[in-house]
């Protein structure tokens, strides 16, 4: 009796191609389509079961339905001079109408009822042209200006506002310097006057006035300088 022809339509029909590099799991998909009006049981086998993970590796396909099998090649050290001898076989049988235990069906199947298809495994490495195409096809990354490490662009209106604020702060610093000089002069004048009168208590008051005149405006100058440095730094960067 002649062997039954495979009822399922396989895609790809003859080769399972795995594209490297093979430093990670590489997956090839196999489509099984049932064009008949009967349910079909299938089982996927390989000559290298330790090198592949197949999901699902068995099951039932309804009439007119399609099942996608994922064949996952485990990582290995690829030798381009070594040809792959790995093969897969898809075995199928028509599912009995009253079948409830699929494993029992496979155990009791007659060799004449079996249909099978063989596929060979092909390993491929991407060529240099393919690598260039992959790089060119990838979109350039878009940087979020709020998170980018580089300089952030400033529009004209913001520049104008910063310049006006810097000028205002510079004017304030100039006024504070003038007041600082006036207070120092006043303190020096009072100290000279108080020395001439030899009044110890008044001399202490004059020294206190001079100390306040020197420290308070100096602190304001430092604060203003910090603000100017902040705005100028933001503008320049």
Compute the distance between CA of residue 152 and CA of residue 144 in angstroms, rounded to an integer: 10
Proportion of the chain above pLDDT 70, given as a percent: 65
119 and 35 in one domain?
yes
Compute the distance between CA of residue 36 and CA of residue 40 in angstroms, rounded to an integer: 9
113 and 166 in one domain?
no
What is the signed CA dihedral for 183, 172, 223, 221, rounded to 10 degrees? -30
Cβ distance 93 to 6 under 8 Å?
Answer: no
The answer to whether residue 4 is domain-embedded is no
Of 18, 13, 42, 38, nearest in space to 28 by CA: 18
Range from 2-11, 49-58, 150-159, 180-189 carrying the lowest mean pLDDT: 150-159
Q: Is pLDDT of 129 > 60? A: no
211 and 168 in one domain?
yes
Q: Residue 121: which CATH number?
A: 2.60.40.10
Compute the distance between CA of residue 160 and CA of residue 69 in angstroms, rounded to an integer: 64
Counting beta carbons within 10 angstroms of the beta carbon of residue 165, is it exposed (0 to 12), middle (13 to 18) or buried (19 or more)? middle
116 and 183 in one domain?
no
Is the bond leading into 139 cis (omega within 30 degrees of zero)? no
170 and 92 in one domain?
no
- The mean per-residue pLDDT over the stretch 131-143 comes to 50
161 and 122 in one domain?
no
State the total domains in the chain.
2
pLDDT at residue 151, rounded to an integer: 41
Proportion of the chain above pLDDT 90, given as a percent: 41
Domain that holds residue 65: 9-126
pLDDT at residue 156, rounded to an integer: 66
Could you tell me the pTM of the whole model? 0.53
The answer to whether residue 131 is domain-embedded is no
69 and 24 in one domain?
yes
- The mean per-residue pLDDT over the stretch 110-121 comes to 94
pLDDT tens readout for residues 161-196: 767 776 777 777 677 777 777 877 777 777 777 776
Residue 54: what are its φ and ψ, rounded to 5°?
-115, 125
61 and 19 in one domain?
yes
Cβ distance 231 to 165 under 8 Å?
Answer: yes
**Domain-ending residue, one of 108, 126, 144:** 126
Q: Per-residue confidence at 57, pLDDT binned at 50, 70, 90? A: very high
24 and 97 in one domain?
yes
Q: What is the chain's mean pLDDT, rounded?
A: 78
Range from 9-13, 58-62, 210-214 carrying the lowest mean pLDDT: 210-214
Q: How far is CA 35 from CA 24, 40, 67, 141, in A?
A: 35, 10, 12, 46
161 and 105 in one domain?
no
**Domain-ending residue, one of 87, 111, 126:** 126
85 and 33 in one domain?
yes
């Amino acid at each position: 009796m002649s062997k039954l022809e495979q009822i399922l339509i396989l895609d790809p029909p003859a080769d399972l191609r795995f594209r490297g590099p093979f430093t990670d799991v590489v997956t090839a998909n196999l489509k099984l389509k049932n064009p008949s009006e009967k349910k079909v049981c299938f089982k996927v086998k390989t000559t290298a079961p330790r090198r592949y993970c197949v999901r699902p590796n068995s099951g039932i396909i309804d009439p007119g339905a399609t099942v996608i099998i994922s064949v996952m090649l485990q990582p290995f050290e690829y030798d381009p001079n070594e040809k792959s001898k790995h093969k897969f076989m898809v075995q199928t049988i028509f599912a009995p109408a009253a079948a409830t235990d699929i494993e029992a069906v496979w155990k009791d199947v007659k060799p004449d009822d079996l249909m099978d298809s063989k596929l060979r495994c092909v390993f491929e490495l991407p060529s240099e042209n393919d690598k260039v195409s992959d790089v060119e096809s990838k979109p350039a990354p878009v940087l979020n200006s709020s998170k980018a490490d580089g300089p952030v662009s400033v529009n004209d209106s913001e520049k104008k506002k910063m310049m006006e604020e810097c000028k205002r702060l510079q004017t304030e610093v100039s006024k504070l310097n003038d007041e600082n000089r006036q207070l120092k002069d006043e303190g020096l004048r009072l100290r000279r006057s108080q020395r001439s009168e030899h009044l110890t208590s008044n001399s202490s008051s004059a020294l206190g006035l001079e100390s306040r005149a020197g420290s308070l405006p100096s602190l304001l100058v430092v604060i203003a300088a910090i603000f100017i440095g902040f705005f100028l730094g933001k503008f320049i960067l």
